[in-house]
Structure 1
Amino acid sequence: MSSRLVDMRIAQDSTVDVPGLALTSSMGEYVFGNIGLQTTSVSPQEAGNVRVMLNAYLRLAAPGPNGPYTSDVTFRIYRNGTLIFTTVNPGTGDMNEIRYVMIGITAVDFPPVQDVLAGQIQYIIAVSTTRDAALGARSFAWTAVVG
């Protein structure tokens, strides 16, 4: 069986590292990607064969000595409000070093048939921290195929 493209989308929250966005533990999750997968082209017979590949990029930055990147940073991906992926990037533990960390995340999803048949699936990626972090450039994208 051959595969065919269902949909492809991107969300670009920032294209630059400076000035960074301050992320604090008190603000909870910061959503930097929110995109809707259009599935109206998928027939009921194909609905169980949809595969989604999700990709995210984010740069964590400390602007100087004693900079804010010293904590764990957690990334979560949600499908229609349901958590489907989570990962944690550990902090440096050394507040005297300047740190620039580029994070690349790839996750996959096999959405439930009922979500596919609804015509649209919402994917959100959010980031949170235990203390403080500075966010640089960040984006979220995915590709969906059936077959």
Structure 2
Amino acid sequence: MSTQFLDMRISSDSVQDTPQRELTSSSLFPYTFGDIGLQTASVSPSNVNSVRVTLNAYVRLLMAPSSNPTIIPNATFTVRRNGTTIFTTVYQKPANQLDITYEMAAITVVDFPPENEVLLGQIQYTISVSTNYGIGLGARSFSGIAVAGGI
């Protein structure tokens, strides 16, 4: 069984660091900075059980020091497939850094979507970020590739 290329998509929310998107801990909802729909309609019947997806995200973070020593600023990234969380990670500012830091977060997520979602013809992936303290988002992007077969 040969490898079958299905789709590749990109989502670019901002191509520069300024102006920043400011997030606070009082935000009611996480900020979604990537949303792509990977097409799976062309998957051959023999490959429906072997779809693999690679997702990549990049975001530049401005992390300010907390005025409360018990709060360590962090950014929580969540990736969802058709609304279901498949990956979560937390990027935390080092507790001993007392100045503003500029961090670059690069995230790679892999997924083996279930057959029933592959057969829908499109799989929607989103990435969002939330924080427990104020952070700023600079340039940010999200991309994905779907292939099948060849395992």
TM-score, normalised relative to structure 1? 0.91
**1:67 deviation in Å?**
8.3
**1:4 deviation in Å?**
2.0
Q: Which residue of 1 aligns with 2:56?
A: 55
Q: Which residue of 1 aligns with 2:134?
A: 132
- Any idea what the Cα deviations from partners look like across 1:1-60, whole Å, max 9, x if unmatched? 321210000000001111111011121300000110111101333111100000000000
In structure 1, how many angstroms separate the alpha carbons of the residues matched to 2:65 and 2:61?
A: 14
In structure 2, how many angstroms separate the alpha carbons of the residues matched to 1:102 and 1:131?
A: 17
In structure 1, how many angstroms separate the alpha carbons of the residues matched to 2:56 and 2:36?
A: 12
In structure 1, how many angstroms separate the alpha carbons of the residues matched to 2:120 and 2:26?
A: 35
Q: Which residue of 1 aligns with 2:3?
A: 3
- Any idea what the Cα deviations from partners look like across 1:36-93, whole Å, max 9, x if unmatched? 011110133311110000000000014xx7689x511100000000000010001233
Q: Which residue of 1 aligns with 2:92?
A: 90
Q: Which residue of 2 aligns with 1:121?
A: 123
SS at match of 1:25: coil
TM-score, normalised relative to structure 2? 0.88
The amino acid that maps onto 2:91 is: N
Q: Which residue of 2 aligns with 1:144?
A: 146
Q: Which runs of 5+ in 1 are unaligned?
A: none
In structure 1, how many angstroms separate the alpha carbons of the residues matched to 2:33 and 2:62?
A: 16
Answer with 117-126 or 23-32: which moved more. Answer: 23-32
In structure 2, how many angstroms separate the alpha carbons of the residues matched to 1:12 and 1:54?
A: 13
SS at match of 1:26: coil
In structure 2, how many angstroms separate the alpha carbons of the residues matched to 1:80 and 1:59?
A: 26
Q: Which residue of 2 aligns with 1:38?
A: 39
In structure 1, how many angstroms separate the alpha carbons of the residues matched to 2:125 and 2:57?
A: 12
Q: Which residue of 1 aligns with 2:26?
A: 26
Whether the 8 Å contact between 1:31 and 1:125 is mirrored in structure 2 is: yes
RMSD: 1.8
Q: Which runs of 5+ in 2 are unaligned?
A: none
Q: Which residue of 2 aligns with 1:99?
A: 101
